[in-house]
Structure 1
Amino acid sequence: MAKVILLSGSPNKIGNTMDVLKECKKSIENENVEAEIISLSGKNIRGCTGCRKCKEIKKCIIDDGLNDILFKVKEAEGFIIGAPVYFGTPRGDLMNAIQRIGMVSYGTDRFLSWKVGGPVAIGRRGGLSTTYQEMLMFYFINEMIVPGSSYWNIVFGKAPGDALKDTEGIESTTRFASNVAKLINKIN
Protein backbone atom coordinates (compact mmCIF):
# COMPACT_ATOMS: atom_id res chain seq x y z
CA MET A 1 0.00 0.00 0.00
CA ALA A 2 1.23 3.51 -0.81
CA LYS A 3 2.25 5.67 2.12
CA VAL A 4 2.61 9.34 3.02
CA ILE A 5 4.87 10.57 5.80
CA LEU A 6 3.67 13.70 7.58
CA LEU A 7 6.44 15.44 9.51
CA SER A 8 5.44 17.71 12.38
CA GLY A 9 8.08 20.39 12.86
CA SER A 10 6.62 21.47 16.19
CA PRO A 11 8.53 21.03 19.45
CA ASN A 12 5.17 20.09 20.99
CA LYS A 13 3.68 16.60 20.65
CA ILE A 14 0.21 18.10 20.91
CA GLY A 15 -0.97 21.44 19.57
CA ASN A 16 -2.04 23.16 16.38
CA THR A 17 0.52 21.60 14.05
CA MET A 18 -0.34 18.09 15.20
CA ASP A 19 -4.08 18.87 15.04
CA VAL A 20 -3.77 19.98 11.42
CA LEU A 21 -1.63 16.98 10.44
CA LYS A 22 -4.12 14.59 12.06
CA GLU A 23 -6.85 16.07 9.87
CA CYS A 24 -4.60 15.67 6.81
CA LYS A 25 -3.89 12.07 7.83
CA LYS A 26 -7.62 11.30 7.85
CA SER A 27 -8.02 12.75 4.36
CA ILE A 28 -5.13 10.66 3.05
CA GLU A 29 -6.48 7.48 4.62
CA ASN A 30 -9.92 8.19 3.11
CA GLU A 31 -8.20 7.74 -0.28
CA ASN A 32 -6.88 4.29 0.73
CA VAL A 33 -3.32 5.51 1.23
CA GLU A 34 -1.47 4.81 4.46
CA ALA A 35 -0.30 7.83 6.48
CA GLU A 36 2.11 8.18 9.39
CA ILE A 37 2.80 11.30 11.43
CA ILE A 38 6.33 11.72 12.76
CA SER A 39 7.08 14.43 15.30
CA LEU A 40 10.32 16.33 15.83
CA SER A 41 9.24 16.85 19.43
CA GLY A 42 12.00 15.84 21.83
CA LYS A 43 14.59 15.60 19.09
CA ASN A 44 17.62 17.86 18.71
CA ILE A 45 18.14 17.91 14.95
CA ARG A 46 21.44 19.52 14.04
CA GLY A 47 22.26 21.39 10.85
CA CYS A 48 24.04 19.94 7.84
CA THR A 49 27.81 20.37 8.02
CA GLY A 50 28.34 19.95 4.29
CA CYS A 51 30.74 17.04 4.83
CA ARG A 52 29.19 15.09 1.92
CA LYS A 53 29.79 11.77 3.73
CA CYS A 54 26.17 10.90 2.90
CA LYS A 55 27.28 10.22 -0.66
CA GLU A 56 29.50 7.41 0.60
CA ILE A 57 27.47 5.94 3.46
CA LYS A 58 23.96 6.50 1.98
CA LYS A 59 22.67 8.22 5.10
CA CYS A 60 23.59 11.22 7.24
CA ILE A 61 26.72 10.86 9.33
CA ILE A 62 25.18 12.90 12.17
CA ASP A 63 23.59 10.48 14.65
CA ASP A 64 20.70 12.46 16.15
CA GLY A 65 17.70 10.39 15.06
CA LEU A 66 17.18 11.99 11.66
CA ASN A 67 18.21 8.86 9.73
CA ASP A 68 15.20 6.98 11.13
CA ILE A 69 12.94 9.69 9.66
CA LEU A 70 14.97 9.83 6.45
CA PHE A 71 14.56 6.10 5.80
CA LYS A 72 10.78 6.32 6.33
CA VAL A 73 10.57 9.23 3.89
CA LYS A 74 12.69 7.29 1.40
CA GLU A 75 10.28 4.33 1.46
CA ALA A 76 7.11 6.45 1.21
CA GLU A 77 5.46 7.82 -1.94
CA GLY A 78 4.47 11.09 -0.29
CA PHE A 79 5.92 13.64 2.12
CA ILE A 80 4.02 16.47 3.82
CA ILE A 81 5.71 18.86 6.22
CA GLY A 82 3.81 20.74 8.93
CA ALA A 83 5.65 23.92 9.88
CA PRO A 84 4.65 25.91 12.94
CA VAL A 85 5.41 29.61 12.50
CA TYR A 86 6.54 31.25 15.73
CA PHE A 87 8.69 34.08 14.45
CA GLY A 88 7.91 34.65 10.78
CA THR A 89 9.72 31.65 9.26
CA PRO A 90 9.94 27.86 9.65
CA ARG A 91 11.62 26.65 12.83
CA GLY A 92 15.36 26.11 12.55
CA ASP A 93 15.39 22.44 13.52
CA LEU A 94 12.71 21.69 10.93
CA MET A 95 14.82 23.36 8.25
CA ASN A 96 17.85 21.40 9.53
CA ALA A 97 15.86 18.18 9.09
CA ILE A 98 14.63 18.79 5.57
CA GLN A 99 17.94 20.22 4.37
CA ARG A 100 19.73 17.09 5.55
CA ILE A 101 17.08 14.81 4.04
CA GLY A 102 17.46 16.73 0.80
CA MET A 103 21.25 16.52 0.92
CA VAL A 104 21.20 12.75 1.40
CA SER A 105 18.69 12.38 -1.44
CA TYR A 106 20.73 14.63 -3.72
CA GLY A 107 23.99 12.89 -2.83
CA THR A 108 22.69 9.36 -3.33
CA ASP A 109 19.87 8.09 -5.56
CA ARG A 110 17.63 11.20 -5.50
CA PHE A 111 14.93 9.29 -3.66
CA LEU A 112 12.84 12.44 -3.20
CA SER A 113 12.37 12.88 -6.95
CA TRP A 114 8.75 12.34 -8.00
CA LYS A 115 7.47 11.99 -4.45
CA VAL A 116 4.17 13.81 -3.96
CA GLY A 117 3.64 16.28 -1.13
CA GLY A 118 4.02 19.82 0.04
CA PRO A 119 4.18 22.11 3.04
CA VAL A 120 1.54 23.25 5.49
CA ALA A 121 2.20 26.37 7.57
CA ILE A 122 0.42 26.92 10.89
CA GLY A 123 0.63 30.11 12.94
CA ARG A 124 -1.09 33.07 14.51
CA ARG A 125 -0.72 35.68 11.79
CA GLY A 126 2.49 36.91 10.15
CA GLY A 127 4.97 34.73 8.31
CA LEU A 128 2.62 32.03 7.07
CA SER A 129 2.98 32.89 3.38
CA THR A 130 6.74 33.35 3.75
CA THR A 131 7.07 29.99 5.49
CA TYR A 132 4.91 28.26 2.90
CA GLN A 133 7.01 29.73 0.07
CA GLU A 134 10.31 28.89 1.75
CA MET A 135 9.23 25.31 2.29
CA LEU A 136 8.14 24.98 -1.36
CA MET A 137 11.78 25.57 -2.34
CA PHE A 138 12.63 22.21 -0.72
CA TYR A 139 10.03 20.42 -2.84
CA PHE A 140 10.97 22.04 -6.12
CA ILE A 141 14.74 21.63 -5.83
CA ASN A 142 14.17 17.94 -5.10
CA GLU A 143 11.98 17.38 -8.21
CA MET A 144 8.93 16.64 -6.10
CA ILE A 145 5.30 17.01 -7.20
CA VAL A 146 3.16 19.51 -5.26
CA PRO A 147 -0.59 19.31 -5.97
CA GLY A 148 -2.77 22.33 -5.42
CA SER A 149 -5.84 22.95 -3.35
CA SER A 150 -8.60 25.52 -2.98
CA TYR A 151 -6.13 27.94 -1.32
CA TRP A 152 -2.59 27.92 0.02
CA ASN A 153 -1.84 25.39 2.77
CA ILE A 154 -1.88 27.83 5.66
CA VAL A 155 -3.89 27.58 8.87
CA PHE A 156 -4.36 30.31 11.47
CA GLY A 157 -4.19 29.52 15.17
CA LYS A 158 -2.32 30.61 18.29
CA ALA A 159 -3.55 28.78 21.39
CA PRO A 160 -3.77 24.98 21.24
CA GLY A 161 -6.95 24.00 19.41
CA ASP A 162 -7.30 27.34 17.58
CA ALA A 163 -6.19 25.92 14.23
CA LEU A 164 -9.18 23.57 14.11
CA LYS A 165 -11.44 26.65 14.31
CA ASP A 166 -9.99 27.99 11.04
CA THR A 167 -12.48 26.13 8.87
CA GLU A 168 -11.19 27.59 5.59
CA GLY A 169 -7.60 26.67 6.46
CA ILE A 170 -8.56 23.15 7.50
CA GLU A 171 -10.68 22.71 4.37
CA SER A 172 -7.86 23.77 2.03
CA THR A 173 -5.17 21.71 3.80
CA THR A 174 -7.30 18.57 4.00
CA ARG A 175 -8.23 18.98 0.32
CA PHE A 176 -4.50 19.30 -0.42
CA ALA A 177 -3.78 16.12 1.59
CA SER A 178 -6.54 14.31 -0.28
CA ASN A 179 -5.06 15.52 -3.58
CA VAL A 180 -1.65 14.17 -2.52
CA ALA A 181 -3.19 10.74 -1.99
CA LYS A 182 -5.27 10.88 -5.19
CA LEU A 183 -2.19 11.76 -7.24
CA ILE A 184 -0.16 8.97 -5.63
CA ASN A 185 -2.94 6.54 -6.54
CA LYS A 186 -2.98 7.79 -10.14
CA ILE A 187 0.80 7.49 -10.45
CA ASN A 188 0.74 3.98 -9.00
Structure 2
Amino acid sequence: MSTATHALHFEILCGSERAQGNTELVAEHMQSLFRGLGASAGLIRLREHRIDPCGRCGECNLRTVPCAQDDDMPAIVRRLQAASGLVYAVPVHGYGMAHPMQIFIERAGVGYLRFERPLANKVAGAVVTGRRYAHEPVFNQLVNNILLNRMILVGSGYPATVRGGSPGAALQDSEGLEAVRSLASRMVGMARLLQSIPAEDVTAFLSPDTTNERITRRIAVSPT
Protein backbone atom coordinates (compact mmCIF):
# COMPACT_ATOMS: atom_id res chain seq x y z
CA MET A 1 0.00 0.00 0.00
CA SER A 2 1.33 3.41 -0.97
CA THR A 3 2.09 6.04 1.64
CA ALA A 4 3.40 8.67 -0.77
CA THR A 5 3.38 12.16 0.68
CA HIS A 6 2.54 15.45 -0.95
CA ALA A 7 3.06 19.06 0.05
CA LEU A 8 0.80 20.23 2.84
CA HIS A 9 -1.48 23.17 2.14
CA PHE A 10 -3.78 24.88 4.62
CA GLU A 11 -6.54 27.42 4.09
CA ILE A 12 -7.34 30.08 6.69
CA LEU A 13 -10.85 31.47 6.56
CA CYS A 14 -10.86 35.03 7.89
CA GLY A 15 -14.37 36.04 8.92
CA SER A 16 -13.78 39.72 9.67
CA GLU A 17 -15.20 42.69 7.78
CA ARG A 18 -12.16 44.82 8.65
CA ALA A 19 -9.07 45.03 6.49
CA GLN A 20 -5.97 44.69 8.67
CA GLY A 21 -8.07 44.36 11.80
CA ASN A 22 -6.90 42.13 14.63
CA THR A 23 -8.40 38.97 13.14
CA GLU A 24 -6.77 39.50 9.76
CA LEU A 25 -3.43 40.31 11.39
CA VAL A 26 -3.56 37.11 13.45
CA ALA A 27 -4.60 35.13 10.36
CA GLU A 28 -1.62 36.53 8.44
CA HIS A 29 0.63 35.66 11.40
CA MET A 30 -0.67 32.09 11.32
CA GLN A 31 -0.10 31.98 7.58
CA SER A 32 3.58 32.78 8.24
CA LEU A 33 3.71 30.11 10.95
CA PHE A 34 2.46 27.45 8.54
CA ARG A 35 5.05 28.49 5.98
CA GLY A 36 7.77 28.35 8.61
CA LEU A 37 6.72 24.76 9.32
CA GLY A 38 7.20 23.77 5.70
CA ALA A 39 3.57 24.01 4.56
CA SER A 40 1.89 26.44 2.19
CA ALA A 41 -1.07 28.47 3.42
CA GLY A 42 -3.78 30.44 1.69
CA LEU A 43 -5.88 33.18 3.26
CA ILE A 44 -9.53 33.45 2.28
CA ARG A 45 -10.84 36.86 3.32
CA LEU A 46 -14.58 36.29 3.31
CA ARG A 47 -15.20 40.05 3.11
CA GLU A 48 -13.69 40.03 -0.39
CA HIS A 49 -16.15 37.44 -1.65
CA ARG A 50 -19.81 37.60 -2.52
CA ILE A 51 -21.55 35.21 -0.15
CA ASP A 52 -25.29 35.70 -0.09
CA PRO A 53 -27.24 34.75 3.04
CA CYS A 54 -29.65 31.85 2.93
CA GLY A 55 -32.81 32.84 1.10
CA ARG A 56 -36.46 32.02 1.61
CA CYS A 57 -36.71 29.06 -0.75
CA GLY A 58 -37.08 26.60 2.13
CA GLU A 59 -35.60 23.82 0.03
CA CYS A 60 -32.54 23.04 2.15
CA ASN A 61 -33.97 19.86 3.65
CA LEU A 62 -35.32 18.65 0.32
CA ARG A 63 -32.57 19.45 -2.17
CA THR A 64 -30.39 16.65 -3.50
CA VAL A 65 -27.99 19.02 -5.26
CA PRO A 66 -25.99 22.04 -4.00
CA CYS A 67 -27.53 25.44 -3.39
CA ALA A 68 -28.77 27.22 -6.52
CA GLN A 69 -27.70 30.72 -5.46
CA ASP A 70 -25.09 32.13 -7.82
CA ASP A 71 -22.24 33.52 -5.72
CA ASP A 72 -18.66 32.69 -4.65
CA MET A 73 -19.52 29.81 -2.33
CA PRO A 74 -18.75 26.94 -4.77
CA ALA A 75 -15.24 28.28 -5.45
CA ILE A 76 -14.49 28.66 -1.73
CA VAL A 77 -15.72 25.15 -0.98
CA ARG A 78 -13.49 23.80 -3.75
CA ARG A 79 -10.48 25.51 -2.16
CA LEU A 80 -11.29 23.91 1.18
CA GLN A 81 -11.72 20.50 -0.41
CA ALA A 82 -8.28 20.76 -2.01
CA ALA A 83 -6.55 21.72 1.26
CA SER A 84 -4.86 19.45 3.79
CA GLY A 85 -6.62 21.35 6.55
CA LEU A 86 -8.32 24.58 7.45
CA VAL A 87 -8.57 27.19 10.17
CA TYR A 88 -11.61 29.26 11.08
CA ALA A 89 -10.46 32.73 12.24
CA VAL A 90 -13.20 35.07 13.39
CA PRO A 91 -13.74 38.07 15.69
CA VAL A 92 -16.32 38.44 18.43
CA HIS A 93 -18.95 41.02 17.53
CA GLY A 94 -21.84 41.76 19.87
CA TYR A 95 -21.07 38.72 22.05
CA GLY A 96 -21.34 36.47 19.00
CA MET A 97 -19.66 35.53 15.76
CA ALA A 98 -19.04 38.25 13.16
CA HIS A 99 -21.61 37.97 10.40
CA PRO A 100 -19.35 37.08 7.41
CA MET A 101 -18.37 33.82 9.11
CA GLN A 102 -21.90 33.17 10.33
CA ILE A 103 -23.29 33.54 6.82
CA PHE A 104 -20.51 31.35 5.43
CA ILE A 105 -21.14 28.56 7.94
CA GLU A 106 -24.88 28.60 7.27
CA ARG A 107 -24.58 28.61 3.48
CA ALA A 108 -21.71 26.12 3.32
CA GLY A 109 -23.40 23.74 5.71
CA VAL A 110 -26.89 23.52 4.31
CA GLY A 111 -26.00 24.29 0.70
CA TYR A 112 -22.89 22.21 0.07
CA LEU A 113 -21.26 20.26 2.89
CA ARG A 114 -24.22 18.26 4.13
CA PHE A 115 -24.48 16.09 1.01
CA GLU A 116 -21.18 14.20 1.11
CA ARG A 117 -19.31 15.79 4.04
CA PRO A 118 -16.36 16.50 1.70
CA LEU A 119 -14.23 17.99 4.49
CA ALA A 120 -14.31 14.79 6.56
CA ASN A 121 -10.93 13.76 8.00
CA LYS A 122 -9.28 17.07 7.19
CA VAL A 123 -7.30 18.67 10.00
CA ALA A 124 -9.03 21.74 11.42
CA GLY A 125 -8.59 24.40 14.08
CA ALA A 126 -10.24 27.58 15.34
CA VAL A 127 -8.93 31.01 16.33
CA VAL A 128 -11.11 33.70 17.92
CA THR A 129 -10.14 37.33 18.46
CA GLY A 130 -11.89 40.00 20.48
CA ARG A 131 -11.49 42.72 23.08
CA ARG A 132 -12.34 40.91 26.29
CA TYR A 133 -15.61 38.95 26.36
CA ALA A 134 -17.44 36.04 24.68
CA HIS A 135 -14.46 34.37 23.04
CA GLU A 136 -15.42 30.95 24.37
CA PRO A 137 -19.03 30.81 23.07
CA VAL A 138 -17.82 31.74 19.58
CA PHE A 139 -14.96 29.23 19.84
CA ASN A 140 -17.45 26.53 20.86
CA GLN A 141 -19.66 27.26 17.86
CA LEU A 142 -16.69 26.85 15.54
CA VAL A 143 -15.73 23.59 17.26
CA ASN A 144 -19.26 22.27 16.83
CA ASN A 145 -19.11 23.08 13.12
CA ILE A 146 -15.77 21.31 12.76
CA LEU A 147 -17.18 18.22 14.46
CA LEU A 148 -20.40 18.35 12.44
CA ASN A 149 -18.38 18.19 9.25
CA ARG A 150 -16.36 15.24 10.61
CA MET A 151 -13.08 17.06 10.48
CA ILE A 152 -10.24 16.22 12.87
CA LEU A 153 -10.15 18.92 15.52
CA VAL A 154 -6.66 19.85 16.67
CA GLY A 155 -6.20 21.75 19.90
CA SER A 156 -3.42 23.93 21.22
CA GLY A 157 -3.84 23.18 24.93
CA TYR A 158 -5.67 26.37 25.83
CA PRO A 159 -8.14 27.50 23.15
CA ALA A 160 -6.55 29.81 20.57
CA THR A 161 -8.33 32.95 21.73
CA VAL A 162 -6.51 36.23 21.22
CA ARG A 163 -7.38 39.45 23.02
CA GLY A 164 -6.98 42.98 21.76
CA GLY A 165 -9.37 45.89 21.63
CA SER A 166 -7.51 48.39 19.47
CA PRO A 167 -6.08 47.85 15.96
CA GLY A 168 -2.94 45.72 16.18
CA ALA A 169 -3.32 45.02 19.90
CA ALA A 170 -3.91 41.30 19.30
CA LEU A 171 -0.30 40.97 18.14
CA GLN A 172 0.76 42.03 21.65
CA ASP A 173 -1.14 39.19 23.35
CA SER A 174 1.81 36.86 23.87
CA GLU A 175 -0.24 34.15 25.58
CA GLY A 176 -2.84 34.11 22.83
CA LEU A 177 -0.19 34.07 20.11
CA GLU A 178 1.53 31.16 21.81
CA ALA A 179 -1.73 29.21 21.57
CA VAL A 180 -1.91 30.12 17.87
CA ARG A 181 1.69 28.95 17.36
CA SER A 182 0.98 25.67 19.14
CA LEU A 183 -2.17 25.16 17.09
CA ALA A 184 -0.32 25.66 13.79
CA SER A 185 2.46 23.29 14.85
CA ARG A 186 0.07 20.56 15.95
CA MET A 187 -2.05 20.92 12.82
CA VAL A 188 1.00 20.43 10.61
CA GLY A 189 2.08 17.47 12.74
CA MET A 190 -1.35 15.83 12.55
CA ALA A 191 -1.55 16.37 8.80
CA ARG A 192 1.86 14.77 8.35
CA LEU A 193 0.82 11.85 10.54
CA LEU A 194 -2.27 11.31 8.40
CA GLN A 195 -0.10 11.47 5.28
CA SER A 196 1.99 8.62 6.62
CA ILE A 197 -1.05 6.32 6.73
CA PRO A 198 -2.45 4.71 3.57
CA ALA A 199 -5.55 6.58 2.42
CA GLU A 200 -7.64 3.42 2.51
CA ASP A 201 -6.73 2.91 6.17
CA VAL A 202 -7.69 6.49 7.04
CA THR A 203 -11.10 5.89 5.48
CA ALA A 204 -11.48 2.49 7.12
CA PHE A 205 -10.64 3.70 10.61
CA LEU A 206 -12.14 7.21 10.57
CA SER A 207 -15.22 6.73 8.39
CA PRO A 208 -16.53 3.23 9.14
CA ASP A 209 -20.08 2.70 7.87
CA THR A 210 -20.69 6.45 7.76
CA THR A 211 -24.01 7.41 6.22
CA ASN A 212 -25.24 10.89 5.48
CA GLU A 213 -27.54 11.91 8.31
CA ARG A 214 -30.11 13.27 5.86
CA ILE A 215 -30.67 9.71 4.62
CA THR A 216 -30.81 8.08 8.03
CA ARG A 217 -33.24 10.65 9.41
CA ARG A 218 -35.48 10.59 6.32
CA ILE A 219 -36.28 14.24 6.69
CA ALA A 220 -39.82 15.00 5.59
CA VAL A 221 -41.19 18.48 5.20
CA SER A 222 -44.96 18.81 4.93
CA PRO A 223 -46.31 21.34 2.44
CA THR A 224 -47.91 24.39 3.96
TM above 0.5, yes or no, is yes
Does the 8 Å contact 1:10/1:41 carry over to 2? Answer: yes
CA distance in 1, matches of 2:36, 2:120: 25
CA distance in 1, matches of 2:157, 2:50: 35
CA distance in 1, matches of 2:29, 2:155: 17
CA distance in 2, matches of 1:102, 1:74: 14
**Among 156, 180, 196, the residue aligned to 1:173:** 180
Partner of 1:62: 69
Q: Give percent identity, aligned residues only.
A: 28
Could you list the runs of 5+ residues in structure 1 that have no partner in the other structure? none
Does the 8 Å contact 1:31/1:182 carry over to 2? Answer: no
**Among 99, 117, 128, the residue aligned to 2:135:** 128
Q: Do the aligned partners of residues 151 and 64 (structure 1) sit closer, same or farther apart at CA in structure 2, a change above 3 Å counting?
A: same
Partner of 1:30: 36
CA distance in 2, matches of 1:76, 1:106: 18
Secondary structure at the aligned position of 1:148 is classed as coil
1:174: Cα distance to partner? 1.8
Partner of 1:8: 14
| C-alpha RMSD of matched pairs (Å) | 1.7
Does the 8 Å contact 2:162/2:173 carry over to 1? Answer: yes
Partner of 2:148: 141
Rg bigger for which structure? 2
Secondary structure at the aligned position of 1:45 is classed as coil
CA distance in 1, matches of 2:131, 2:50: 24
Consecutive aligned runs of 4 or more in structure 1 exceeding 4 Å deviation? none
Q: Name the amino acid aligned to 2:122.
A: K
How many residues align structurally?
Answer: 185
Does the 8 Å contact 1:102/1:112 carry over to 2? Answer: no
Superposition pairs of residues 70-109 of structure 1, within 5 angstroms: 70-103=77-110, 104-107=112-115, 109=116
Partner of 2:194: 187
Partner of 1:45: 51
Q: Name the amino acid aligned to 2:113.
A: S
